[in-house]
Structure 1
Amino acid sequence: MQQTVLNPNKQESAAPCNEYLAFKLGQEEYGIDILKVQEIRGYESVTRIANAPEFIKGVINLRGIIVPIVDMRIKFDLGEPTYDQFTVVIILSIANRVVGMVVDSVSDVTTLEQEQIKPAPEMGTALNTDCLIGLGTLGERMLILLDIERLMSSDEMGLLLQA
C-alpha cells in the first residue's frame, strides 16, 4: 500500500498563483485546490453503507477516522468505473470534515497563474456549472477546475453541512 502525504505549506513569492492537484476521470483532466488535499492513497476496498447513493462507495477507517468515499466517475456519470493499479483515493480536508474521492489516476501538482484560468462557459440548463471554478490552460493541456468544497457540500452530496 503506497501512500503519499503532501505538504502544501510552502510559501510562494512573486505574483499570486494557485496550485492544483491534477487528476484524470475517463478522458478528461480535472484540478482541485492543493490546499484541500490531505493525502493520496491507493484504492482499497470500502465498507458499503445501506441505502447510500450509488456514488458513495462506502467508508474506510483512516487512522481512527471514518471517511466517506465518493466515486467521482459514478458521480459525474462517466461510465462504469474500473479499479486498477492507477486508481487512487484523494483524501480531502473540507470544512473540518475528511472525505475521500476515487479518481482514475493523479497526474501532478500544477501551478496556474490567474491569466491561465478562463471562466467556465455558460451552458444554460444543460450543465450545472456551480461547482466549476473555470478551465486552466497549460499549452495544449486543459484542466477542468472544480470547486471541490462547493461540490462536496452540495445538497445532492449531503456529505458536509452547509457553512
Structure 2
Amino acid sequence: MMSPPSDDLRAKLSQLATEDTFLNAYARRRARSATGSEWIGFCVAGETYALPIGDLREILKVPPITEVPRVPRFVLGVAPVRGMVVPILCMRRRLGFPPAPIGRSSRVLVCEVDGERYGLLVDAVSAVERLQEGQIERSPQLGGGAAAEFVAGIGRAGARLIILLDARAVVTFSSREAR
C-alpha cells in the first residue's frame, strides 16, 4: 500500500497546477487580445463603464473599509486585501455622481497600475466585454467635466455604448483634490 503524499509534495503539485493554469489562461488571453481587447464591464449610477481587463487582479465583495483623514472625497479609505493594505476609491464620487449606500451587488475591482493596487468600488459588475478594434471609437470632446479626463474611448457592443476608462487616469489625483 502506498503512503499518502507529504504536505510538501502536495504544496509543490498545487503550485505547479496553479502556475500551469495561469500560463495557459495567459496564453489564451493574449491570443484573444491579438484580435481585439477585453474589458471588465461595471455599472455606476445606472451607466455602463469598463476598464481594461489586463489591469484587473480580482473582484471582491466589499470588505471592511477603514477611513483615512485628509484624503480626496472619492477615497473611502483602505482595506486589507490578501495581506496588503489597498486604497478604496468610490467610482460614483470619482465620476462626479453623488454617493449611494453599498448594496448587495456592490463590488470592489482590485486593479493594478504601475505596480500599485487600488480597489474601485462599483455598483455592480456586468460582464467581460470583448471589443474588436472597429468597435472602439476615440473619446469625443466631452468638455471639462469631472469624468472627461478618465475616458479612453467609447465601445460599441451591439446597440449598447460602453464608456471605456483609463485606469491610470482614474487612480491618479493631485494634492488639490484632497479634502
TM range (shorter): 0.7 to 0.9
Residue matched to 1:99: 118
Distance 1:128 1:25 in 2: 12
Greater share of residues in strand: 1
Distance 1:97 1:15, change over 3 A: closer
SS at match of 2:168: helix
Q: Which has the larger radius of gyration?
A: 2
The CA deviation at 1:146 is 0.3
Structure 2: segments with no counterpart, 5+ residues = 1-21
Residue matched to 1:142: 161
Residue matched to 1:80: 99
Pairing 1:61-80 to 2, within 5 Å after superposition: 61-80=80-99
Distance 2:102 2:33 in 1: 41
What TM-score, normalized to structure 2?
0.77
Q: Deviations over 1:44-89 (max 9, x none)?
A: 2200001122211110111221100000101112123221110000
Residue matched to 1:161: none
Aligned pair 1:109/2:150, yes or no? no
2:49 maps to a residue whose letter is Y
Tell me which of 116, 141, 153 is aligned to 1:122. Answer: 141
2:104 maps to a residue whose letter is Q
Distance 1:42 1:125 in 2: 33
SS at match of 2:149: coil
The CA deviation at 1:93 is 1.1
Q: Deviations over 1:19-43 (max 9, x none)?
A: 0000000111001000000000001
Tell me which of 50, 59, 63 is aligned to 2:69. Answer: 50
What TM-score, normalized to structure 1?
0.84
Structure 1: segments with no counterpart, 5+ residues = 1-6, 159-163
Contact 1:151 1:157 in 2 (8 A): no
The CA deviation at 1:95 is 0.4
Tell me which of 37, 47, 50 is aligned to 1:18. Answer: 37
The CA deviation at 1:14 is 8.7
Q: Calculate percent identity across the aligned residue pairs.
A: 26
The CA deviation at 1:124 is 3.4
Aligned residues between the structures: 152
Contact 1:69 1:102 in 2 (8 A): yes
Runs of 4+ more than 6 Å apart = none
